[in-house]
Amino acid sequence: MIRSGRRPAVPAVAAFLYGAADLGVLFDAVRGDPRLTTPAFALIEARAVDWLPSDAEVREQLGLFLLMLGRRISPALAVISTARLNTALRTGQIDGNRWGLRVGIFKDAASARNWLTGYASERRSAV
């Protein structure tokens, strides 16, 4: 997790909560973090989003995420969301699959972390 000033703790990226300048700083911090020696798992906390992004906005943010962090993250991304936002995030699941990224949408952090842990176990046993 990355902490940014007085803002809440931000896992890897929170594309819908921050502006482009904030994301650039965040992406640079993740890319340059020497503690990430292997691809890191990303967990996005999106429950505070108070607007409904369009499919194009979801697609654009996911593309930016992959472009900027693709080599630093594992091919699995967990998003903690609300029921209202889930429909918009389905676009991210579909496009993520096309782009080699498995996107899971969850209502709570525990479920998201369990899914990422299970994904990590699957990857280790496949090697």
User: Strand, helix or coil at 62?
Assistant: helix
- The pLDDT tens digits along the chain (127 residues) read 333 333 333 333 444 444 555 666 767 777 777 777 677 778 888 888 778 888 888 888 788 778 777 777 778 889 999 988 888 888 889 988 888 889 999 999 999 989 988 887 676 565 5
pLDDT attached to residue 115: 92
Radius of gyration of the chain (CA): 14
* Domain ranges across the chain: 20-126
Number of Cβ within 10 Å of residue 94's Cβ equals 14
Q: Tell me the pTM.
A: 0.71
Q: Tokens 């899914």: give the residue.
A: 115
